[in-house]
Amino acid sequence: MEDKTTIDVAVDWDRSPSDLLWADDNTLLAAYNEYGRNKLAKIDIASGTVTPIVEEHSVGSMQHVPLSNGLLISYSALDSPTDLYKVSIDDGSIKRVTQLNPQFGSSVFLSAPEDVEFEGAEGSSIHGFLLRPPNFDASQTYPLAYVIHGGPQSSFTDAWSTRWNLNIFAAAGFVTVALDFEGSTGYGQNFTDAIRNQWGGKPFESLMKSLDQLLDSHPYIDRNRLTALGASYGGYQINWINAHSTAFKALVNHDGMFSTVSTYYSTDELYFPETEFEGVPFDEQARQNYEKWSPERNVHKWKTPTLVIHSEKDYRLVVSEGLSTFTALRRQGVPARFLYFPDENHWVLKPANSLRWHHEVLGWITQWTRKDTIGGSQSQKFVVQGEHLNQ
């Protein structure tokens, strides 16, 4: 605009764009998260009208195609790795450009995600995905992998990833469920903000209430073979679950939080705890919030076998958080294993390390859920796509 006037656009649209791109002088394109999908919409600048263009699966990066009314986007799903597609801005028609992984869908089975929804804390609506193992038979029973996302201002989306890929757990024989609890994005700002000063409150209640409903409505999930896994905030929630539930046979804590107070003094992101716990831990009132939601205060209740994973270069939640978790478990005689990566950060990114991560995680949850050795300490084999792999 020539006069450089600032105007608000789509002020009543309760979503948070992750990427913006001008289509023309009058139209803004926005990628945004909503109900487990990374969608694409066009926004009319004059009226503020938001019109969805792509509503299924997940849009990644986007680039305008010169001399056309089209976009080149990266596009994926939980059962489809990322490829490039061309999208019409006018009508949303989509055309595939690349097929980088033709083996998927033919020689490799990928489980199609099913949307699920449950009632959470205070009547909230909890949305997520369920994936079934290969050769699924509803007359049989299966163990559960209950995956808890980090953030916590994040969400599980119908998108491909090399980290925490839900199809990996399904391929290993687990019914896999991933839910968006309070704090998650894509359901409006009020839902995202509902986790503030509620870290072990509403999200935990929603996860456990949803688990009960899941088990009641899906009889092929074996109630005696439940596991839960989480990273970052999900790791925090694993520690919280260990003190407040006996539903699970095994837990996996990746880069989780042991103490809210020690985390404050060591993290690289001070804004985060000061916002979540409404102040600093050396303020008397805010200190009560930190201590109320600190897993460390409840370690005497921990009883569930736990695989603890942490990396040396994690500055968001430093490695001492993982070491403290492992120490608290083992000094109380709780079965535990510590997996340490000296060359990774908050994420495990290197291919060889990722392979080790998956072998350890799948081996651990299989070890504690095998029908013939439930609760046993003997190392077990797991199966992925019909191939036997040792942990």
HSE on the CB side for 94, CA within 13 Å? 18
The pLDDT of residue 364 is 98
Q: In this structure, are residues 295 and 257 in contact, taking their beta carbons and an 8 Å threshold?
A: yes
Residue corresponding to tokens 């450089």? 4
Give residue-wise pLDDT tens across range 111-165. Answer: 999 999 999 999 999 999 999 999 999 999 999 999 999 999 999 999 999 999 9
Give residue-wise pLDDT tens across range 228-257. Answer: 999 999 999 999 999 999 999 999 999 999
Q: In this structure, are residues 350 and 319 in contact, taking their beta carbons and an 8 Å threshold?
A: no
Assign 390 a pLDDT band (cuts: 50, 70, 90): very low
Tell me the pairing of strands 27-34 and 17-24.
antiparallel
Give residue-wise pLDDT tens across range 304-353. Answer: 999 999 999 999 999 999 999 999 999 999 999 999 999 999 999 999 99
Q: In this structure, are residues 177 and 128 in contact, taking their beta carbons and an 8 Å threshold?
A: yes
- Rounded to two decimals, what is the model's pTM? 0.93
The pLDDT of residue 386 is 47
Round to whole Å and give the CA distance between 384 and 391. 12
The pLDDT of residue 380 is 53
Which two three-digit tokens encode residue 362? 């799948």
The pLDDT of residue 268 is 96
Whether 314 is catalytic: yes
The pLDDT of residue 383 is 57
Which two three-digit tokens encode residue 279? 């102040």
Assign 391 a pLDDT band (cuts: 50, 70, 90): very low
- The catalytically annotated residue of 158, 222, 255, 314 is 314
**Whether pLDDT at 372 is above 80:** no
Residue 368, Cα to own-chain centre: how many angstroms? 22
Which two three-digit tokens encode residue 204? 């935990």
Q: In this structure, are residues 327 and 320 in contact, taking their beta carbons and an 8 Å threshold?
A: no
Assign 373 a pLDDT band (cuts: 50, 70, 90): low
Mean pLDDT, residues 12-37:
93
**Whether pLDDT at 381 is above 70:** no
Q: What is the mean pLDDT of the chain?
A: 93
- The catalytically annotated residue of 149, 254, 310, 346 is 346
**pLDDT above 70 covers what percent of the chain?**
94
**Whether pLDDT at 102 is above 90:** no
- Give the residue among 272, 346, 260 at the shortest CA–CA distance from 297: 260
The pLDDT of residue 65 is 87
Round to whole Å and give the CA distance between 33 and 23. 20
- The catalytically annotated residue of 111, 232, 262, 311 is 232
- Which residues, 6 or more positions from 21, have their beta carbon under 8 angstroms from its beta carbon? 28, 29, 62, 63, 64, 71
Which two three-digit tokens encode residue 183? 């704090």
Q: Which stretch of 47-51, 103-107, 127-131, 173-177 has the lowest confidence by average pLDDT?
A: 103-107
**Whether pLDDT at 278 is above 80:** yes
Whether 90 is catalytic: no
Round to whole Å and give the CA distance between 281 and 273. 9
Round to whole Å and give the CA distance between 272 and 279. 10
How many residues would you count in the chain?
A: 391
The pLDDT of residue 387 is 46
**Whether pLDDT at 382 is above 90:** no
Whether 61 is catalytic: no
**Whether pLDDT at 374 is above 70:** no
Mean pLDDT, residues 204-230:
98
